[in-house]
Structure 1
Amino acid sequence: MGLKTIWRNYRVLIVMGTGLALVHWGWYNIKSNPIFQPKRDEFVPEPAIVRYVLEQEKQAKGK
Structure 2
Amino acid sequence: MGLKTFWKDNKVLIVVGTSLGLVHWGWYYLKSSPIFQVKTENIVPDPGILPFMMQSDRKNKEK
Q: String of CA shifts for 1:11-39, please: whole Å, max 9, x gaps.
A: 00000000000000000000000100111
Number of aligned positions between the proteins: 58
Q: 2:23 and 2:38 mapped to 1: Cα distance?
A: 22
Q: Give the C-alpha shift of residue 53 in structure 1.
A: 5.0
Aligned to 1:9: 9
Aligned to 2:42: 42
Aligned to 2:61: none
Q: 1:17 and 1:53 mapped to 2: Cα distance?
A: 50
Q: 1:44 and 1:5 mapped to 2: Cα distance?
A: 61
Q: Give the aligned residue type for 1:10.
A: N
Q: 2:24 and 2:47 mapped to 1: Cα distance?
A: 37
Q: 2:5 and 2:12 mapped to 1: Cα distance?
A: 13
Q: String of CA shifts for 1:30-61, please: whole Å, max 9, x gaps.
A: 0000100111233121234311455479x5xx
Q: Which runs of 5+ in 2 are unaligned?
A: 59-63
Q: Which runs of 5+ in 1 are unaligned?
A: none
Runs of 4+ in 1 over 3 A off after TM superposition: 52-57
